[in-house]
Amino acid sequence: MSEGKVTWLTQDAYDRLKNELDELIENRPVIAEKINASREEGDLKENGGYHAAREEQGQQEARIRHLQELLRTAKVGEAPANDGIAEPGMVLTVRYDGDDDEETFLLATREEGGEGPIEVYSPDSPLGKALLGAKEGEAREYVLPNGSTQKVSLVKAVPYSGS
């Protein structure tokens, strides 16, 4: 995560991530015990259990560091104002130029969206950056991965309810 970056989180999302972090930290001795037990089985080069336990430990430690940084910089609070302006924590309904269908997604980090039923787009994505600050009815453009430009209109922006 870049320095000075703030992630907006609801209290529910913050609590959920804090609980996950606490469980991961509590689980550290279990992983260490797995590694020690596997190490005692002999030759480490041919010991799949040892290597699997070490890999699991590495992934767990990376997740712990990520959650610690995320929670350290998180701004916990209520959903943003219901003012029709695209910002993190808002559910956006958009229409792409040349397409009659609308798409709805949450503008937030993956952690904020959790395992919810709604698609989550990062404010740092090309689409997210283009829409930040847009008002309902406003059209914006952003560059697609293939280099062409896509026009998108903000149809609706409402605060995310979390469920």
**Number of domains, the chain:** 2
Spatial CB neighbours of 74, under 8 Å, sequence gap ≥ 6: 6, 7, 8, 9, 14
1 has pLDDT over 50 = no
Least confident of 17-31, 106-120, 139-153: 106-120
As a whole number of angstroms, the distance between CA 152 and CA 127 comes to 9
- Nearest-angstrom CA–CA distance, 150 and 142: 6
Domain annotation covers residue 143: yes
* Domain membership flag for residue 33: yes
Domain membership of residue 100 as a residue range: 90-159
Same domain membership, residue 68 and residue 22: yes
Instruction: Specify the pLDDT at position 3.
Output: 41
CA–CA distance, 13 with 117 (Å, rounded to integer): 15
Residues 146 and 96 in one domain: yes
Q: Are residues 69 and 96 in the same domain?
A: no
For 49-75, what is each residue's pLDDT tens digit? 888 888 999 999 999 998 888 888 877
Please check whether residue 81 lies inside any domain of the structure.
Answer: no
Please give the pLDDT value at position 78: 63
Spatial CB neighbours of 140, under 8 Å, sequence gap ≥ 6 = 130, 131, 134, 151, 152, 153, 154
122 neighbors 67 (Cβ within 8 angstroms): no
Is 84 a domain residue? no
Q: b/e per residue, 104-119, with b = 16+ CB within 10 A? A: ebbbbbebbbbeeeee
Residue 53, classified by CB atoms within 10 Å of its CB into exposed (0-12), middle (13-18) or buried (19+), is buried
- Summarize pLDDT for 2-22 with one digit per residue, the tens: 444 566 777 777 888 899 999
Report the alpha-carbon distance of residue 68 to residue 45 in Å, rounded: 33
In a domain, residue 83? The reply is no
H/E segment holding residue 50: helix 48-73
* Residue 71 shares a structural domain with residue 98: no
Residues 97 and 67 in one domain: no
pLDDT attached to residue 147: 92
Residues 97, 119 within the same domain: yes
Q: Is residue 67 part of a domain?
A: yes
Residue 2 lies in a domain: no
Q: What is the CATH number of the domain that holds 112?
A: 3.10.50.30
Top mean-pLDDT range of 35-39, 73-77, 94-98: 94-98
